[in-house]
Amino acid sequence: MNIEQASQALQRVAGEVGRVLIGQDELVEQVLIGLLARGHVLLEGVPGLGKTLLVKALGQTLGLSFRRIQFTPDLMPSDVTGSSVYNAKLSEFNFIPGPIFAQLVLADEVNRAPAKTQSSLLEAMQDRSVSSDGVTRSLPKPFLVIATQNPVESQGTYPLPEAQLDRFLLKLEIGYPGKAGELLLLKNYVAGFDSNKLEGFGQVLNEAQVLAMQDAVTQVRVADEILEYITNIVEKSRSHPAVALGASPRASIGLLAVSRAQALLRGRDFVVPDDVKSHAHGVLRHRLLLQPDAELEGTSPDACVDAILREVPVPKTVA
């Protein structure tokens, strides 16, 4: 599959998902980029914006298996990863895989489970394998976790620590679809659309093609100027006065990966500065720990990223 074919197929996927998830085209594209870059995505948004529908539709369009885990305070690590159950007939322990053994996993309200359970998920995300009873089992490929959390509700939640947030390649904020989008959405429902039934929803790609595209991303060319641009951005995040803890080298690698994935999505075999800049917020916003003073002033991580981007000149600037 060449770059152009890959780009066209991905556009078809985005278009197909966009048919049911109305007014969230940008989000669909960013989640696809996360998948191509072999990362995981943290979605932050109020309930009712179609997060579950997005993952379900994506799974169906890409021909990938899909599981949803609703995180609750009493959720145990074994509820996520699976556990060994004694088989009396065979007199042995059989491993029953948990919901993590799927290609697309929706970890809904990930901040509602205690830290131990969160850690079990995040370790699986990082290692792409699950260890239980001394046996390490690989997770299926491709593997993408889309975790969600509600930015408003804080009672009875266990916020993810910074170190664990770093495991997510992208943190995306979902907004409302807009008036026109919402109107179209209602019209869809009037016409009989049911988000629980996605029959007839077209499969555009299969597992092998998705894996081929993930491989194709690594072939996308990155000029030295672009590498320097990424380095400058990440470096600047560490010296920014409002930031106590800047982005890690993992952030640099992540920014590079999503930039390549975006280039592929756009049908290019090389990265341009706009690929980097347009994903800087998604990659950096959850990795910056702000100074208490900045917090006090109401500065947001996004505002810091904006300031950082303003200070770093793009390669080949004409200004």
Residues that bind other proteins (CB under 8 A): 114-115, 154, 157-159, 221, 223, 225-226, 240-242, 268-274, 277-278, 292-293, 295-296, 307, 309-319
Nearest distance, CB of residue 179 and other proteins, angstroms: 18
Residue number, 88 or 296, with CB nearest to other proteins = 296
Min dist CB 38 to other proteins, Å, is 23
Minimum distance from residue 113 beta carbon to other proteins (Å): 13
**114 vs 140, which CB is nearer to other proteins?**
114
> What is the smallest separation between the CB atom of 155 and other proteins, expressed in angstroms?
8
Amino acid at 63: G
Shortest distance (Å) from residue 66 CB to other proteins = 30
Q: How far is the CB of 319 from other proteins (least distance, A)?
A: 4
Q: Closer to other proteins at the Cβ: 74 or 133?
A: 74
Residue whose CB is less far from other proteins, 21 or 271: 271
Nearer to other proteins, 106 or 312 (CB): 312
Instruction: For other proteins, give the closer residue by CB, 102 or 265.
Output: 265
